[in-house]
């Protein structure tokens, strides 16, 4: 299962190339910041691309898209599937000979932007504003957008329709608020099935934080602000339902993630991304379900976004050609081909209607492109997030004041350097 937890290994993988200073991701610029003139090799070039693939379908789709560009331009692209993306990226940057183009995860973007490994090219994209604004913000560092969002996923409410009907619930009972979610999860809770099964950590409970108008860091990513009423109230809501027994975490259900608890019918509902389709098709055939947008919190709609961009190396000798390749890979046509091949959602707003028409079951997921929140976007924060996640694994008995103040203390030590 991808995108459920975040590794604490990045700090080791970067091997001292990073220093822990403030991110300072200030005001978001509509069309990105200015970039230096791109390096451009003369004649046909041989670009190298590094990807973290979900399987043959994704690998073959990327190769087909790069081959089409290569045939059109006379260049070549060698696509390599990383066995350890972080390690191989770090090694390439350290050696001064990284891949020209690569997948760059939003959760690690700030570290690489800070160390100067990334070429900021977003200002060269004439239709940059067509990418969802939260996705562009996820790849903005110190006021400058660096790269084009490749695709994205969001969280939504996944409902077992058989359990729903058995509990006497209908279409009108789809939860719209936190109170609604608590009520239906109680109705769905039986001796052998909990109403809502959740994955642990901020990549799931963080959605409630967003719905209550909170976040772990300030808007400019320079200050820790977890110990605020907005964050505490959101976690308290989840904690109260957890104590009542109508919410349970995957580790309480002997499951590796929320999708497993849902697929094995230990949970009647879960909060997961559109990758749930693949899990059901592969592992839980015959399971009937529907998907709805997450209920609104006291401060409105909110979900989490998981995204990657097409990174280009600052050390690439063929940046101009790499940018041209990215432009080709991010057209609506190319993004829809990727969606059909391996299930990702287009990062372009102009592709949304076409995507929803082709995949109406994903409407709730793609709706989150407009109001979702990306991951923590500050350099050096991965160990701090890992520590918070370890504490949230036991949210039921956690002292929220201590957990949140502890995060702020740890985060401040990183952001203040």
Q: pLDDT of 304-313, one tens digit each?
A: 999 999 999 9
Residue 393 lies in a domain: no
User: What pLDDT does residue 399 have?
Assistant: 98
Give the integer Cα–Cα distance in Å for 104 and 112.
Answer: 9
**Strands 101-105, 289-292: parallel, antiparallel or unpaired by DSSP?**
unpaired
239 lies in the same domain as 272: yes
338 lies in the same domain as 250: no
Residue 240 contacts by C-beta under 8 Å, 6 or more apart in sequence?
A: none
Residue 388 lies in a domain: no
Which residue from 382, 377, 390, 370 is spatially nearest to 110, judged by alpha carbons?
377
160 lies in the same domain as 150: no
139 lies in the same domain as 163: no
Residue with tokens 């789809």: 174
Residue 392 lies in a domain: no
Give me the sign of the Cα torsion angle 139, 145, 150, 152. positive
328 lies in the same domain as 342: yes
Residue 137 contacts by C-beta under 8 Å, 6 or more apart in sequence?
A: 28, 145, 374, 377
Residue 208 lies in a domain: yes
User: What pLDDT does residue 395 have?
Assistant: 97
User: What pLDDT does residue 3 have?
Assistant: 43
331 lies in the same domain as 227: no
Give the integer Cα–Cα distance in Å for 376 and 384.
Answer: 11
Residue 5 lies in a domain: no
Instruction: Count the domains in the chain.
Output: 2
Residue 395 lies in a domain: no
User: What pLDDT does residue 35 have?
Assistant: 55
Give the integer Cα–Cα distance in Å for 231 and 229.
Answer: 6
Please state the length of the chain: 417
Residue 59 lies in a domain: yes
| E runs forming strands in 243-317 | 247-249, 267-272, 289-292, 303-312
Residue 300 lies in a domain: no
Give the integer Cα–Cα distance in Å for 110 and 29.
Answer: 16
Q: pLDDT of 256-273, one tens digit each?
A: 999 999 999 999 999 999
Give the integer Cα–Cα distance in Å for 394 and 28.
Answer: 36
176 lies in the same domain as 236: yes
**Residues paired with 342 in a beta bridge:** none
Task: Tell me the two tokens of residue 181.
Answer: 């979610």
- 115 conformational bin, left if phi > 0, alpha if psi -120 to 50, beta if neither: alpha
Q: Which residues of the chain have pLDDT under 50?
A: 1-34
99 lies in the same domain as 124: yes
Task: For residue 199, give its domain range.
Answer: 156-293+411-415
317 lies in the same domain as 270: no
């Amino acid at each position: 299962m991808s995108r459920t937890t975040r590794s604490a290994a990045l700090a080791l993988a970067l091997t001292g190339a990073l220093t822990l200073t403030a991110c300072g991701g200030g005001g978001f610029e509509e069309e990105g910041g200015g970039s230096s003139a791109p390096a451009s090799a003369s004649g046909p070039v041989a670009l190298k691309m590094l990807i973290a693939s979900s399987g043959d379908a994704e690998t073959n789709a990327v190769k087909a898209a790069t081959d089409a560009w290569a045939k059109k331009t006379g260049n070549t692209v060698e696509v390599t599937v990383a066995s350890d993306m972080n390690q191989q990226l770090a090694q390439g940057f350290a050696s001064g000979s990284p891949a020209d183009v690569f997948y760059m995860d939003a959760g690690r973007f700030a570290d690489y932007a800070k160390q100067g490994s990334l070429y900021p090219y977003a200002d060269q994209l004439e239709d940059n504003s067509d990418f969802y604004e939260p996705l562009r913000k996820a790849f903005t560092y110190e006021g400058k957008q660096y790269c084009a969002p490749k695709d994205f996923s969001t969280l939504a409410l996944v409902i077992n329709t058989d359990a729903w009907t058995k509990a006497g619930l209908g279409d009108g009972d789809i939860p719209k608020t936190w109170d609604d979610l608590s009520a239906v999860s109680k109705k769905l809770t039986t001796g052998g099935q909990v109403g809502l099964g959740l994955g642990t950590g901020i990549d799931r409970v963080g959605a409630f934080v967003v719905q209550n108008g909170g976040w772990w860091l300030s808007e400019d990513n320079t200050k820790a602000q977890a110990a605020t009423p907005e964050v505490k109230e959101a976690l308290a809501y989840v904690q109260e339902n957890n104590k009542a027994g109508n919410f349970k975490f995957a580790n309480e259900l002997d499951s590796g993630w929320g999708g497993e608890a849902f697929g094995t019918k230990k949970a009647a509902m879960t909060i997961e991304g559109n990758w749930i389709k693949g899990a059901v098709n592969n592992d839980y055939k015959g399971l009937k379900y529907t998907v709805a947008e997450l209920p609104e919190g006291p401060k409105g709609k909110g979900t989490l976004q998981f995204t990657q961009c097409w990174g280009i190396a600052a050390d690439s000798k063929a940046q101009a050609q790499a940018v041209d390749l990215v432009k080709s890979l991010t057209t609506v046509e190319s993004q829809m081909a990727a969606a059909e091949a391996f299930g990702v959602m287009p990062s372009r707003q102009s592709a949304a209607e076409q995507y929803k028409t082709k995949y109406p079951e994903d409407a709730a997921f793609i709706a989150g492109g407009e109001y979702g929140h990306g991951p923590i976007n500050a350099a050096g924060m991965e160990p701090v997030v890992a520590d918070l996640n370890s504490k949230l694994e036991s949210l039921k008995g956690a002292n929220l004041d201590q957990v949140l103040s502890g995060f702020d203390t740890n985060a401040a030590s990183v952001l203040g350097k």
